[in-house]
Chains A and B, each alone.
Chain A
Amino acid sequence: MDRPRSDRTTGVDRRTFLRRTGLVAGAAGLEGILGARRAPAYAQGTKLHLLRWNDFVPACDEELRRQLGEAGRALGATVTLETINANDLQPRITSAVQSGTGPDIIMLLHNWPHLYEASLVDVSDLAEWQRKDQGGYYSQSEAAAKVGSRWVALPHSIVGVQMAYRKSWFDEVGQTTWPRTLEELRLVGLKLKKNGHPIGQTLAHTFGDAPTWAYPMLWNFGAAETDVTGRSVLDRKETVDSVRFMQAYWKDACDEGALAWDDTNNNRAFLAGEISATLNGASIFIAAKRGADKLKDEKDQPLWQDILHGPIPNGPAGSWAYHVAFSHGIMRYSKAPKLAKDFLRWLAAKEHFGKWFEAAGGFSVGANKYWEEHPMWPKLDDAMKIYRTAARVSRMFGYAGPPSAKATEVYSKYVIVDMYAKAVQGMGAADAVAWAAGELRKIYG
């Protein structure tokens, strides 16, 4: 082989060789070198990036975008809104937190404030201001956004879930008022199913519909995942009773294909007349109203006129709900935390939030009790009026302990949902509970 003759040749060779062998150790250095060659690409404090989900009610997003323009002028900054599919929020948050760059304010659902607590700016002052301005928080909103005594996110709204049902079909089987207890619901469902109008409830790994049913199932029977100290107390008689009820309810009243439904299936099934009732946000009613000319019932009347809402009926321990609490978190890596705080305060001001609240038409409610008295409520359709006070009975998962990261692990592993899913697929109630309790123990220790 030819030998390199010139020094330059050797130099090239050595450098390349060094670069290749020192690759792993040197890569960090390499990055640093290349990174430093670029000038900082951002200016300080004049831009704010807000990340939210695609609101189900498009009018809300439109109103929000309009408000952003106004807010920008008021605060002397540019605020941009990005909306993505709710399921895609978490990977974005994860990569933003890990890479230390991304949107300044991110919408947080469920108990994500607890999950990402280390990356969020303390907003206790803002939260206190909002409490004074707009009345007490719903316990769910507070539990979701507060870690210990620190507020890490500012509660924004709650999407309530209720059971939507077809009034005419319920009347047909003699149930002229919404069932008061779960047992009544099961018996009504039995008759409805015989008429070919079963109740639809999913027990799959969905973002909203499955947990919003499964957790209240526990609570309505007096069962819970943990006690106040955070110790797992799932393995109890109340839990087994709850599972047994679910098994009977499933067989008697539910559409058994619904096991695999995602969050959109029950909407479609209801609107197509396949099921008579389902637990959902107000999106079914709103969609029916929006498409009044296209969505008709069997008598060719607009479907929305036959839809009413009712809360999850009472179990032995009352009627509870798991609504979805939304809040806004300011990320620690943000270059404009003060601006972000000012913006959130601006957004939460009564005159601004009020407009967004009206655009939502009951689909989302405020996180504070003030909004129960808003003049919008009497003007809404009867079916929507129930959402006014629905958020009062809502709890966070992880109850009765704090909605910590461990509770999130239980939630995102769908342990509670699967407990019911396994039971309705044939596992014995006690076995299903034992399995779930085992999983909980692994997580809670």
Chain B
Amino acid sequence: MVIERRWKKWVFFYIPLTLFLVGMLFPFYWMLITAIRPDAELYRSWRNVHNTPFWTLHPTLDHVQDLLARTMFPRWLWNTFFIATVSTGISLFCGLLAGYALARLRFPMAGTLGTAIFVTYLVPPTLLFIPLANIIRNFQLGDTPWALILTYPTFLIPFCTWLLMGYFKTIPKELEECARVDGATRFGAMARIIFPIAVPGILSAGIFAFTLSWNEFIYALVFISSPERKTVPVGVVSELIRGDIYFWGQLMAGALLGSVPVALVYSFFVEYYVAGLTGSVKG
């Protein structure tokens, strides 16, 4: 390890790191404070003498209670979790198979197909959502979670495919050849030898896909109508804005609580996530 002096450590490490952390986490602190601040303080003028924007002496759980009682927030959490999990599963499945095929197998149009999958990532959702509404109708999936579960993979599969493709490319081919000579089928070699090695990559891709599904807004807005089937971003925005009043306390409470499941998933898997890209990202 390279030796550093103490002051250097402070200037070049601790201070910048602290600044980063403050910058990144301050909005969360803000959300938290707003969520527990009573209404009377929320709407006080900025020049008011008693203004204490950074803390409150009368924290209240009113907003959180209101959020959980008056809206179907727990239901939305469940919906979003279900949709995100299943679409991640589908995308990983497709991405795994496609990634292996593109990385390992030789067949005509491999290059073209790889590029084509890549190109689909470039198509903007603002263009797609209207024609998609038609297709969703034809399959009679309107207002069901399946409308989202089948459309989310459109922006998840390309990413999963590339990530896993890169992964597979760096696994030595000898591994499979060895297994096949040992009597395994190509399919068996793929499933039993290669895929287990790719688990960190699968986890990385999965976490990323989960996050993107959780955050998606416009498809969820357009394809789901019943309040009990909404996802968290759509539900919070549509139920907590009434005419020209934003219920800031509840909105921020919703924002925080709505991130908890994803944060939990990350806390379990962040090491895998980093490891999945780690020791593995090569040119």
Contact = CB atoms under 8 A, between A and B. Distances in A.
A18 B218 CA distance: 34
Contacts of A98: 130, 133-134
A54 B138 contact: no
B239 interface: yes
Nearest to A265: B244
A264 B245 contact: yes
Nearest to A51: B225
> Residue among B39, B43, B136, B139 with the most chain A CB within 10 A?
B43
Contacts of B222: 91-92, 94-95
Contacts of A31: 135, 138-139
B136 A99 contact: yes
Chain A, interface size: which category? 35 or more
A209 interface: yes
B6 interface: no
Interface string B23-42: 00000000000000001100
Interface stretch (A100-108, A127-135, A185-193): A100-108
B245 A283 contact: yes
B221 interface: yes
A41 B140 contact: yes
B267 interface: no
Contacts of B136: 99
A38 interface: yes
Contacts of A291: 39
A294 B39 contact: yes
Chain B, interface size: which category? 20 to 34
Contacts of A102: 142, 225
A291 B140 CA distance: 46
Given A31-B138, A85-B238, A103-B225, A267 B245 contact: yes
Interface stretch (A112-120, A214-222, A269-277): A269-277
A272 B43 CA distance: 6
Interface string B78-118: 00000000000000000000000000000000000000000
A264 B246 CA distance: 7
B138 A94 contact: no
Contact of A54 (B221, B225, B243): B243
Interface string B210-247: 00000000100111011100000000011101111110
A88 B238 contact: yes
A56 B241 contact: no
A49 B143 CA distance: 13
B137 interface: yes
A268 B43 CA distance: 6
Contacts of A313: none
Interface string A178-197: 00000000000000000000
A101 B221 CA distance: 15
A84 B220 CA distance: 13
Contacts of A92: 221-222, 225
Nearest to B243: A56
Contacts of A444: none
B18 interface: no
B129 interface: yes
Nearest to A56: B243
Interface string A71-107: 0000000000010111110011011101111110000
B44 interface: yes
A172 to B, nearest CB: 18
A35 B139 contact: yes
A263 interface: yes
A311 interface: no
Given A99-B142, A268-B43, A283-B243, 13 more contacts: A31-B139, A54-B238, A54-B241, A56-B242, A82-B225, A86-B243, A92-B221, A92-B225, A94-B222, A98-B134, A267-B245, A272-B48, A283-B244
Complex A-B, nearest 5 residue pairs according to Cβ-Cβ distance, in ascending order: A56-B243, A99-B137, A99-B133, A263-B244, A95-B133
5 contacts: A41-B140, A55-B243, A98-B130, A99-B136, A101-B137
